[in-house]
Amino acid sequence: MFRLPSVMTSDELLDKAFKRVSKVSVRGRDKKETAKRSSIKKIEVLKSVIASDLTRYQKKSPSVDNLHPFYFEIVDILVGRDDLKRSLGALKWCAEKSSEIGRTYIKSVRRARSHAEIETLRKEAFGRISSLVKQTSSNLDFLIEAKKRLRRMPSIDPEVPTIVIAGYPNVGKSLIVRAMSSGKPRVENYPFTTKKVSLGHFDKDRTRFQVIDTPGLLDREMAERNEIERQAIAALRFLAHAIVFVLDMTETCGYEVAKQENLLRDVSEQFQDIPLLAVENKSDLMKRDSPRLQMSALTGDGVEEVRRVAAEAAMSRALEVARAQESR
Ligand SMILES: Nc1nc2c(ncn2[C@@H]2O[C@H](COP(=O)(O)OP(=O)(O)O)[C@@H](O)[C@H]2O)c(=O)[nH]1
Ligand SMILES: [Mg+2]
């Protein structure tokens, strides 16, 4: 999972830091020394609170580069990986710069001769650190928004061999996920589709497989897609180890067979390296001669065979991916 830390706005951060500053109480031998010691302490507190919070945000944010390519793509779609990197970099810079300004002013205050000079320096330090934090407010706002958007991340394990179910609406994808899974499928978000995808599991030969349907994704032709949707679909390339393309020859789904065959061509072009298995569902309504596997998600007829063939294909693809990773 990819989770960003909770981040304060620049105003909240400054509020917090200055609240701490206002609690500083230091006494010296005389008025000047009291001013000197307390100014030093106040600048110290201000810069430390700011630097440590900003550094913590930056350190607690997981590195995008180490993400599995499936999640890397999704983070990129949802927040933009370059903007994310830039914002985190800006926080680091701001943390370092605040510390540096703080240290410089502390030195000057130590050398200051008069009470007035001490006060001037302290105010200047406060002003410069505050404006530095305000300068980074757009980065903090970005991270707050990014955290919100990343709540739409699915929690799917991309390391598990995965069978993706594709096909027009109402051909039976969701029912197939249910028929193929051992438990009740879980409901997950997928970015840039308002529909939830269902995610099921089954075990075969001591291997766990994932089955996921794709409403709003692989259920209409690519020509109708905008750029973001294409990217959301492309991310599936890093998740899918096999694709089961579901046809409904009865056309009770509301889409003509010719149209469904077009989508099948589309999907196989889109996912060239990934084994694709075309199956005809709703065999309980219509039996016909076909070289394709036939099944009924409703009665369970043929489900076991589809699961076996799909699992074999997914397994060999998963091994191929693993070998390609090793040789890199
Ligand atoms: N007769 C019959 N109906 C099915 C079969 N599979 C799905 N359906 C029905 O087709 C409709 C759409 O199924 P659904 O799984 O929601 O399709 P999806 O939109 O592709 O996910 C539902 O009313 C299902 O009950 C099947 O094998 N036989
Ligand atoms: Mg569905």
| Probe target for ligand 1 pocket from 170, 213, 288, with the most ligand atoms within 8 Å of CB | 170
Q: What is the dihedral of CA 187, 312, 280, 297, to 10 degrees?
A: -40
Report pTM. Answer: 0.85
The side-by-side arrangement of strands in the sheet containing 197-204 is 186-188, 197-204, 207-213, 162-166, 242-247, 276-280, 293-294
Largest Cα–Cα distance in the chain? 102
pLDDT at residue 112, as a whole number: 96
Helical pair 81-111 and 31-60, crossing angle rounded to 10 deg: 160
Output the pLDDT for position 277: 98
Average pLDDT over residues 187-203: 89
286 in contact with ligand 1, CB cutoff 6 A: no
| pLDDT computed for residue 33 by the predictor | 93
Q: Kindly tell me if the per-residue pLDDT of 225 is higher than 90.
A: no
pLDDT above 80 for 328: no
Q: Residue 326 pLDDT more than 90? A: no
Q: What CA–CA distance (Å, rounded) separates 301 from 246?
A: 15
Asked if pLDDT for residue 37 goes beyond 80, the answer is: yes
Cα(170) to centroid(ligand 1), Å = 6
Task: Please identify which residue in the block is written with the tokens 């193929």.
Answer: 180
Q: Whose CA is nearest to atom 14 of ligand 1?
A: 172
Strand partners, 209: 202
Residue 148 makes CB contacts below 8 A (sequence gap 6+) with none
Higher pLDDT, 66 or 264: 264
294 Cβ inside 6 Å of ligand 1: no
Residues with CB under 5 A from ligand 2 (ion): 173-174, 215
> What separation in Å is there between the alpha carbon of 177 and the centre of ligand 1?
11
Mean pLDDT in residue range 57-78: 90
Amino acid identity for residue 227 in this structure: E
Is residue 56 over pLDDT 90? yes
Summarize pLDDT for 123-147 with one digit per residue, the tens.
999 999 999 999 999 999 999 999 9
Phi, psi of 121 (to 5 degrees): -65, -40
DSSP state letters, 113-131: -SHHHHHHHHHHHHHHHHH
Domains observed in the chain: 10-150 (1.20.120.1190), 162-326 (3.40.50.300)
The pLDDT value given to residue 191: 82
Range with the poorest average pLDDT among 24-28, 219-223, 315-319: 219-223
pLDDT at 127: 98
- Average pLDDT on 249-277 reads 96
